[in-house]
Amino acid sequence: MLIRALHDEGVDLIFGYPGGAVLHIYDAIFRQDRIEHILVRHEQAATHAADGYARATGKPGVVLVTSGPGATNAITGIATAYMDSIPMVVISGQVESRLIGTDGFQETDMVGISRPIVKHSFMVQHASEIPMMVKKAFHIATTGRPGPVVIDIPKDVTDPKLKLPYEYPADIKMRSYAVPGKGHSGQIKKAVDALLGAKRPMIYAGGGVIQGEGAALLTELTRKLGYPITNTLMGLGAYPASDKQFLGMLGMHGTYEANMAMHYCDVLLGIGVRFDDRVTNSDTSKFCPDATILHVDIDPASISKTVAADVPIVGSVTAVLEEMIECLDQAEQKVDEDALSSWWDQIGKWREKDSLGVTAHTNGVIKPQQVVQALHRITKGDAYVSTDVGQHQMFAAQYYGFDKPRRWINSGGLGTMGFGLPAAMGVQLAFRDAVSVCVTGEGSFQMNLQEFATCMQYNLPVKIICLNNQSLGMVRQWQDMQYGGRYSHSTYAESLPDFVKLAEAYGHVGIRIEKLDDLDAKLEEAFAYKDKLVFVDVRVDPEEHVYPMAIKGGAMKDMILSKTERT
């Protein structure tokens, strides 16, 4: 009944791992061929893979795990999806109804444990509820501000001996759940007026634009206005990075020009963003001191949460953007071209700082930034890039330059090490012929490397680019900057595995790159293996830091630009 309901919901792929409480369900999977099941090697990886699939496609990822340890292993992945508003449905087995509350074997209160990190959860009490709950779960997970939904199912409820009439509901009504649609027209008009009246405008777009499929409309609006735009870490790809109006990413490791333009703007349009502390810097009283703030989001609770909005607009990004464009076309007032051109002059001066400039070492040591630049060249900027968390993630965000939405797959909100490889698997399963790259660090990679085996089983030719700095680089960077270089438990060079041999042990290809001169040729070699997973172990300069970096407690204009320069 469950599998049938999932099929009727349009699910064709499930990531999971079996166990006692879900054996009835696994038997049902065995006896059908409409839904493909991917057997991961750890439940955390199932959730990240489903998450990667969801980020790349926009469709909900589906996960199936057993009770107890299966469910708890899934928690990190659920939290990761929750923080980044990713649609996901997690089905967890539960002990038999009669055992619930008795500390039965492999019993955990999954609904309770997951409560703060799900959009909603269901506990099935009777098999007859399954179709409706599945329908509701997918509806809730995918609409409004998306998020993960858990369905906890006691084993007896999936007993095949229960024969019940089955009908999948065509639609649902939920009196307690409404999805915001259009924005308030008066507010939209106000926002457009404010934008047109701006002398130093700035557009700040985030993950909500990608999730809400608003990238094309955002690009149209931004081009019509001719205004500068920045994307958040979650929003990369919402506006083409190669376009001249794009100032790069903003925030803690954002470009000099993006953060300066944020600080000095007089009208700020925030769209699909949440004014996160990694953007605003910790003290919001210093944030955009001169700006009238226009904030568009589908989640009313995101608006005025950390930074008060002058013009709040609740609605779906597509509906609001469409109406803004319409409003703009009809407006009598025109963009103040003189003011705009002096604003662009100012931005041009900030750009001259070239805050992402990379000076090559003369001794052949590879800088991590150069690897990402080479990756961009070789993949023609058209790969799906998943990452783990750390310096390598920031380098990928800063240097890859995403021109399309849904190409950049990273754990922004939770910052989960171990996300990269399983997410890249999910992407590869969604798009079998696409280039799915995982940019990782040797630290993060070891958190889910068992998925090498899953990639072998399902022939997933993911390309793993490991920026191996032989340390927990991001931790080390903070220790350099704030703890007098005391590397407390952030280095382990002597105990690193031989990643090339490790890849080979799983039946994959391993390549090591140690010299700058070999970088391009060996990377090309890696990408020439069309049908094989290749692990590229790139030895990079361990001393390198990620810059620019926001100065703690400062405003957005306060940045450290290099080891020797600050604003």
d(CA 359, CA 373) in angstroms, rounded, equals 13
485 binds other proteins (CB under 8 A): no
Q: Verify binding: residue 377, other proteins, rule CB under 8 A.
A: no
Using the rule CB under 8 A, which residue among 174, 179, 521, 528 binds other proteins? 174
Assess 540 for contact with ligand TPP (CB under 6 A).
Answer: no
Is residue 505 involved in binding other proteins (CB under 8 A)?
Answer: no
| Cα separation, 126 vs 243, whole angstroms | 55
SS (H, E, C) 184-220: CHHHHHHHHHHHHCCCCEEEEECHHHHHCCCHHHHHH
Closest distance between Mg ion and the C-beta of residue 390, in Å? 6
Q: How far apart are CA 366 and CA 88, in angstroms?
A: 39
- The binding track of 330-369 with respect to ligand TPP, each residue x by CB under 6 A or -, is ----------------------------------------
**Residue positions annotated with a catalytic role:** 43, 105-106, 155, 474
Name residue 238's amino acid: A
DSSP letter (8 states) at residue 259: H
Taking phi first (over 0 means left), then psi (-120 to 50 degrees means alpha), and beta for anything else, what does residue 406 get?
left
Q: Report the site for other proteins in 253-312 (rule: CB under 8 A).
A: 299-301, 304-305, 308
Closest contact distance (angstroms) between CB of 133 and other proteins is 12
Task: Please identify, using beta-carbon distances, which residue of 237 and 473 lies nearer to Mg ion.
Answer: 473
Of 176, 242, 359, 362, the one binding other proteins (CB under 8 A) is: 176
Note whether 467 binds ligand TPP by CB under 6 A: yes
How far, in Å, CA of 57 to CA of 405, rounded?
A: 10
**Site residues (CB under 8 A) for other proteins, limited to 126-165:** 140
Give me the least distance between CB of 503 and ligand TPP, in Å please: 17
Verify binding: residue 113, ligand TPP, rule CB under 6 A.
Answer: no
Taking phi first (over 0 means left), then psi (-120 to 50 degrees means alpha), and beta for anything else, what does residue 46 get? alpha
From the CB of 472, what's the least distance to ligand TPP, in Å?
4
Task: Check: CB of residue 538 under 8 Å from CB of residue 396.
Answer: no
Q: Does 443 bind ligand TPP (CB under 6 A)?
A: yes
Partner in contact with 177, chosen from Mg ion, ligand TPP, other proteins, none, beta carbon below 5 to 8 Å by kind: other proteins
Distances (CA, A) of 146 to 47, 419, 421: 15, 19, 23
Residues 6+ apart with CB under 8 A from 505: none
172 binds other proteins per the rule CB under 8 A: no
The separation between CA 98 and the C-alpha centre of its own chain, rounded to angstroms, equals: 40
Window contacting ligand TPP (CB under 6 A); options: 20-28, 35-43, 313-321, 414-422:
414-422
| C-beta separation of 196 from 335 below 8 A | yes
Using CB under 6 A, list all residues that contact ligand TPP.
Answer: 388-392, 415-418, 441-444, 467, 469, 471-475
Using CB under 8 A, list all residues that contact other proteins.
Answer: 111-112, 115-116, 119-121, 123, 140, 174-177, 299-301, 304-305, 308
